Structure 1
């Protein structure tokens, strides 16, 4: 099912589910090495004679696939001065060659599992450890354990392999300079003598450029020792059998000493400052925070866990007090609180905010003032009761989710890596409820007082530059702290309110027609809304939600297309019904729901997932989002301002490349239109798209009880009303293709090359083409990885994706980074690889791998309800009839069909390229670029 679980990755506002998960993670990471008290009969663990530890967990709910992990407590802190970067270099070598998987067979094996290297399998190296992870068919258990054993003691390190991979390691080093500088500077504010930044996993460029095979082999033999390793296997396996196999395959790993002690947090006797004003590409918003730091040795006690619970609750109340402050007068937009153990062995408790323009100092003072007020005067019983109600409800919501393969693998890795508790959310809930009576106003005040009097305190400011942010130095931090300590403060308490999404429920409509389809049915309501529902495909399956409207930006009148672009930002910035964020979070307390608006050129809608117990809440959120937008200006200000990212500068890569391909592309780069956008136009765009219920189609997957679901659908979907004065939508026509060869390339200079291809073929849409596009996208990625990475060492990674719609037709997209002086060569090699695929077609092995990958996605659709529902909504919209809804990729993916698709879509006149950061001109003649003989 190609669109099934494949198309368009989106960010999702998690509502209170996010805070619930954050709380559980914070508790998890702050716990000890102890295991759950109850004996788990489905779990087997032990230690071999050489010191290697293993944990095997049988999870029967997800048969057929097993998770494999190898944790090695050897990272960049174990490098000698002449080895900086070799721990990470070794991780790269593991995927190139090993004892039983030589000459690229590691990647071949993983791909033949219906997985994709870099997506379903990969590794990472930190200062502290290296973690290898992948999933594979349970039927291939022997080979998978053999691969883990090879990584533990049989990585093949040849000079030829080192020389080939060296370019990739250096490319990755260059790509990550910004983030490295940010992280190194932060760590240097916590640890003395630059000990952590000196051991940055990316290493030193001079050592990477000259490293030899024997250097990497020396690090490997010295540090990959059995006592430092943990093997984790999670799936529908026999723990006893797997333990026997591990005993055999890992017995030869050499024993040796455990890892050396890790550096400790330096003494901080007063406030410190970490300020960053550098350009960080991933930083979207300015942030200021005040943190309290302490050492943590990874071993906790029952008393320590209780203290952490008390601190969590106390800071959460302070956060809520800050949120309740007058939104017009306060200096910040949003406030967050939490616990972080990312910079081990530091435990960091933080109050964080996004400041308004040039209000960073005032925001820091507001944060510290409210914390100081709580320390002096404490909390009321009603505040504590309300906070415990919120936290308990969120823990209960989290505990409703069953633990599958991936969740258990994460639990076991966190235990081995971080010293976390081996507890499920259900066990954490029991622990929480047992200790909840000990969370009193007095105990919370005492916990906060102890926290705020710790010597280590850190003020942090992060922003892209200082123009709209201001500049803060150490003197400012000391001054703010002094002002707060000397301030005369008055007691304050929160008013206890319980927000609800819908104070008044809508009048329900009625289902007037019902049609059976495979595994479910289709309901038609009297207002025209159609609902496709599907039965669960696995036990305890979450509900998948996808409401799609056919039209989107291409159907809007030209005057409303920019407003339609702003609509996506409106839904991202605002809670349903434009509720204040804190009220929305309160209303979502105890509910496990995700729902987010996503827009494409020719369709848009709301997509998400919910626990079955929270289906009504999810439909209420959907109903609110489909109502006419608010009349006041405030909810529109930031969404309209966000359109500035679509200016015609080089940063608007996607918009410029798409505009290059199709001149009337709706996501075109803007030339000032956003500055004259009126909020009423955003309202009109929303009414045009969602004001006619008869255009809407909703998919619900995982519906175990359709009779209980019917009245909810009738009330919240049947309650939608036709908006009489909505703008008229236009019929979507295929967008013309730009045939001017001189305009099919964008070029700019910089320090890191980024090459983006877009191959566009306007055509009529058939949902079966999505399967073919998904397969070709994956095949192109694998071929380019081989050419650009493994053969020529030019690109660290290759990303590929696809799109399909009635306006743009079929679109294949791929991008990669590389050295700035390699742009012409990378473009030629890419074109030649595409030309070979177009002329010679796919191989039988590629067809088989594509079928296996699609089949895996289909088999696991119950684990990914959001993607499952979104995929079904696509096939329902673009399929010839309802018979296209059952996912059967093997009926479509075959060599003749894929060969024909490659020949039809990979056309010279359909290709457009954007090259950014190249330091050599790329005069491209498209006719010769695609020639196999081009040099």
Structure 2
């Protein structure tokens, strides 16, 4: 489904309509050819040199601003001797500009709290190159330098030959990291899918021949010709003064000049041929047979009111197809693994309507026919009015929900609209206008509109059929003649009318007697209160004004799969998934989705190793329904044999194919070794699946949730205690409980093995190695120690980026993460991971270990500590205004028995970090006495 429309997102979520007063909007009257007006809050214009700008004030998040520079120059503009240089230029803009030579730009921004890769980033596509820079807006010096940086990105790259040569290795490693099955499929299929247009020969990563051997003049020629103001736009969205920002942009970018011998920027198209094409591709690492029917059509830019209406029709159609195939996947004896149907934007001016089905071994014909039969029925009979009503209701709910949050839209959402406005000349209206347009057209769109569109798209003349699969199942892949025969046979079948009748009754027929509040306690956090109910359930409230209509829910109780036997583990570990897939109470999963349409909520039970509980979210209006669902999941779980058999069948197929994936085999090796070969850490196989039992899963689920005593429910968001407490008394306080039974988990004593080990895995044919290094040990779980571990992890990544990427040129993105837990035992472990050439794997692994040990021997560089502090504190300030942050903090602190006062002391502890303290921490945590090295090699590299 294409999501061009900003707020009309059709999803499979349990959402619906909520009555709202009409929004004030610009006029939506006019013909279908009337252009959609630009958001009036945007300051936009064009400088005399042709540079365009979009500036919008937005206070969400507060004291932050996003700066973007967009150039309509991508890989499609490259000459043959420049293939890959548009992307190479993107890298070079971080390796030396007029005001920030060499790596000073990245270093300066990291010291300002902007993380390279996560925040500071860029991308190169076929048609444009985009640079993004998120900054604090309350620091005038940082903001001024940020504007200078995007001015340098517009046309201030130094392109020094020595820096170019250093970057060659980095980009070649990025290319290596992308190699694999997906790339091989793309290389094979793109020429056909793109009808041999220039796009098929201009993948942004380029060719190895060019990347290794191009002359600096060739990249300079591309840069001077296409990085020019008449092809560029500055986008600024955030907590700023738009008028002052507009003047700064005019002053700073006015001196940019277009080249004297300016070439016209060509606009390329992907031709439609009116033909059908067929291709098969097998690969040793492909896991399953997949058939795709790809119908291609010319995309229609979203500019006019008529375009908007057409987009709504398309989105509704996609939503109805999604519902059809969701129901089909829940039917008995499904003979395929998965199926997807719908429209999507593809590339350039090409859109596609695609049907894709992943087949089970030995069931190719039955699986394809079962999936295609539904599409054929839609083609013959169209959709039904109840289906359209359902999807309209879903869309209306999303519209209402978006309107309620219109003053708290993330700045990044606005940026996306202005990017399309500049690069594709598409409309970027304000939210009120979109709301009014959507309400107008949703009331007008008929079933005939939808059925006319779906019939046209199913029968488009431009169709590519692509079948991929594993080498070992080559004989099972249908030929073009066989597939055509299957399609003809399905089309000739008589269709039965589509039946989507569902149960229509109250979720809870009879309310149980409500519980009572026994006591309340103010917690050491602003506006946070814990209530203890009469059945032992604890309820924690943290009302906020961060969102206008968002309530997040988390619940936990100690226990989890630690309480089951090893023999029953496979059933217990999947119990929450299996039982929730069956629905709840009197409703199977499809009935439940229909019952909840018209409501904004989601609730899901979980069971992990140490805890069971719920995750959820809701609007204010539908919070009672969310609590009803929780009540039913705890008191009336439902077994569904059909859903269980489908889950098991798909699991068998997936596990049988898993051994063909090098990454999967490597991941299983890592998990098994780190789990010290405990049976619960060994990846399941087809033999293990035989032990998966619906009865055992149901029994374990019941035992986990039947006693409410010990559960803690946490709510954060837009509610008042006066509204929520009576609902909690009714639906949580009435849950059955035994207050004499104390909840607890069991220590399974599964620990990462001590000592040093090396494990080499030989699998696959990709010319690359994955290196994973693990350093582990015990520690005392408390705030200062945990923050020290976080700091060391970030600093290791900085050191490895400098050493392995910038100095060695041997990797693209080294990553370091640290995990630490209090229960069942205080432990920590660092994971260092990168992809490199197989011949360099051991050397770079040794270099990484050297950098780790150097932190203990030589201490932490002062600049790196400064970067960690800046990034952590800036991020923390944003998180304090997010419901999900507080939900996570409250859940973690309460489960671990920690003080909520740690939140108030976080900034003080971070600011108090010193080089000496971190060096001592490095000596304690990074001595590598417990060090495990994993390396994945391609087969034949022994």
* 2:594 alignment counterpart: 586
Evaluate the alpha carbon distance shift between residue 217 and residue 872 of structure 1 in structure 2; reply closer, same or farther with a 3 A threshold: farther
Listed as ranges, the matches of 1:121-140 within 5 Å are 121-138=120-137, 139=139, 140=142
Q: Say if 1:382 and 1:496, in contact at 8 Å, map to a contact too.
A: no
SS at 2:193 equivalent: coil
Q: Distance in 1 between matches of 2:134 and 2:147?
A: 11
Q: Say if 2:36 and 2:429, in contact at 8 Å, map to a contact too.
A: yes
Measured against aligned partners, the alpha-carbon deviations of 1:855-884 in whole angstroms (never above 9, x if no partner) come to 233322266533441233112222443433
Residue among 870, 891, 899 paired with 1:852:
870
SS at 1:527 equivalent: coil
Measured against aligned partners, the alpha-carbon deviations of 1:688-723 in whole angstroms (never above 9, x if no partner) come to 544443333332222431221112323343343348
Listed as ranges, the matches of 1:358-369 within 5 Å are 358-366=362-370, 369=373
Q: Distance in 1 between matches of 2:759 and 2:491?
A: 60
Q: Does 1:406 align with 2:422?
A: no
* 2:673 alignment counterpart: 660
Evaluate the alpha carbon distance shift between residue 226 and residue 268 of structure 1 in structure 2; reply closer, same or farther with a 3 A threshold: same
Q: Does 1:797 align with 2:813?
A: yes
Q: Does 1:515 align with 2:544?
A: no
Q: Distance in 2 between matches of 1:689 and 1:722?
A: 12
Evaluate the alpha carbon distance shift between residue 841 and residue 794 of structure 1 in structure 2; reply closer, same or farther with a 3 A threshold: same
Residue among 226, 231, 234 paired with 1:228:
231
Q: Distance in 1 between matches of 2:784 and 2:184?
A: 46
* 1:182 alignment counterpart: 185
Q: Does 1:549 align with 2:551?
A: no
Evaluate the alpha carbon distance shift between residue 816 and residue 374 of structure 1 in structure 2; reply closer, same or farther with a 3 A threshold: closer
Q: Distance in 2 between matches of 1:758 and 1:148?
A: 38
Residue among 432, 436, 450 paired with 1:430:
436
Q: Distance in 2 between matches of 1:696 and 1:458?
A: 54
Evaluate the alpha carbon distance shift between residue 494 and residue 686 of structure 1 in structure 2; reply closer, same or farther with a 3 A threshold: closer
* 1:395 alignment counterpart: 399
Q: Say if 1:542 and 1:611, in contact at 8 Å, map to a contact too.
A: yes
Evaluate the alpha carbon distance shift between residue 912 and residue 718 of structure 1 in structure 2; reply closer, same or farther with a 3 A threshold: farther
Q: Say if 2:553 and 2:716, in contact at 8 Å, map to a contact too.
A: yes
Q: Does 1:342 align with 2:346?
A: yes
Q: Distance in 2 between matches of 1:39 and 1:479?
A: 52
Evaluate the alpha carbon distance shift between residue 899 and residue 579 of structure 1 in structure 2; reply closer, same or farther with a 3 A threshold: farther
Q: Say if 2:49 and 2:257, in contact at 8 Å, map to a contact too.
A: yes
Measured against aligned partners, the alpha-carbon deviations of 1:488-514 in whole angstroms (never above 9, x if no partner) come to 546546447668765665554333221
Listed as ranges, the matches of 1:658-807 within 5 Å are 658-663=671-676, 666-669=680-683, 672-687=687-702, 689-722=704-737, 731-732=746-747, 735-736=750-751, 738-741=753-756, 743-748=757-762, 751-766=767-782, 768-805=784-821, 806-807=823-824
* 1:929 alignment counterpart: none
TM-score with structure 2 setting the length: 0.85
Farther off after superposition, 854-863 or 780-789: 854-863
> What is the Cα deviation at residue 907 of structure 1?
2.5
Listed as ranges, the matches of 1:6-17 within 5 Å are 15-16=12-13
> What is the Cα deviation at residue 899 of structure 1?
3.5
Q: Say if 1:338 and 1:349, in contact at 8 Å, map to a contact too.
A: yes
> What is the Cα deviation at residue 141 of structure 1?
1.6
Q: Does 1:157 align with 2:177?
A: no
Q: Distance in 2 between matches of 1:560 and 1:297?
A: 55
Aligned-CA RMSD value = 3.8
Listed as ranges, the matches of 1:282-297 within 5 Å are 288-296=291-299
Q: Say if 2:570 and 2:689, in contact at 8 Å, map to a contact too.
A: yes
* 1:26 alignment counterpart: none
Evaluate the alpha carbon distance shift between residue 277 and residue 768 of structure 1 in structure 2; reply closer, same or farther with a 3 A threshold: farther
* 1:272 alignment counterpart: 277
* 2:463 alignment counterpart: 457
Evaluate the alpha carbon distance shift between residue 330 and residue 405 of structure 1 in structure 2; reply closer, same or farther with a 3 A threshold: same
> What is the Cα deviation at residue 543 of structure 1?
2.6
Q: Distance in 1 between matches of 2:549 and 2:111?
A: 28
Structure 1: state its 5+ residue gaps: 1-12, 21-31, 923-935
* 1:902 alignment counterpart: 922
Q: Distance in 1 between matches of 2:346 and 2:338?
A: 22
Q: Say if 1:658 and 1:668, in contact at 8 Å, map to a contact too.
A: yes
Q: Distance in 2 between matches of 1:399 and 1:234?
A: 19
Q: Say if 2:15 and 2:597, in contact at 8 Å, map to a contact too.
A: no
Evaluate the alpha carbon distance shift between residue 770 and residue 610 of structure 1 in structure 2; reply closer, same or farther with a 3 A threshold: farther
Q: Distance in 1 between matches of 2:86 and 2:602?
A: 39
Farther off after superposition, 202-211 or 703-712: 703-712
* 1:478 alignment counterpart: 484
Residue among 200, 211, 228 paired with 1:197:
200
Q: Distance in 1 between matches of 2:122 and 2:135?
A: 15
Q: Distance in 1 between matches of 2:705 and 2:720?
A: 28
Q: Distance in 2 between matches of 1:111 and 1:670?
A: 42
> What is the Cα deviation at residue 118 of structure 1?
1.1
TM-score with structure 1 setting the length: 0.86
Q: Distance in 1 between matches of 2:444 and 2:148?
A: 49
SS at 2:351 equivalent: strand
Q: Say if 2:294 and 2:355, in contact at 8 Å, map to a contact too.
A: yes
Evaluate the alpha carbon distance shift between residue 413 and residue 92 of structure 1 in structure 2; reply closer, same or farther with a 3 A threshold: same
* 2:29 alignment counterpart: none
Q: Say if 1:287 and 1:352, in contact at 8 Å, map to a contact too.
A: yes
* 2:211 alignment counterpart: 208
> What is the Cα deviation at residue 223 of structure 1?
1.4
Evaluate the alpha carbon distance shift between residue 739 and residue 229 of structure 1 in structure 2; reply closer, same or farther with a 3 A threshold: same
Evaluate the alpha carbon distance shift between residue 17 and residue 905 of structure 1 in structure 2; reply closer, same or farther with a 3 A threshold: farther
Q: Distance in 2 between matches of 1:701 and 1:337?
A: 37
Evaluate the alpha carbon distance shift between residue 865 and residue 707 of structure 1 in structure 2; reply closer, same or farther with a 3 A threshold: same
SS at 1:114 equivalent: coil
Q: Say if 1:290 and 1:368, in contact at 8 Å, map to a contact too.
A: no
Evaluate the alpha carbon distance shift between residue 729 and residue 279 of structure 1 in structure 2; reply closer, same or farther with a 3 A threshold: farther
Task: State how many pairs are aligned.
Answer: 894
SS at 1:203 equivalent: coil
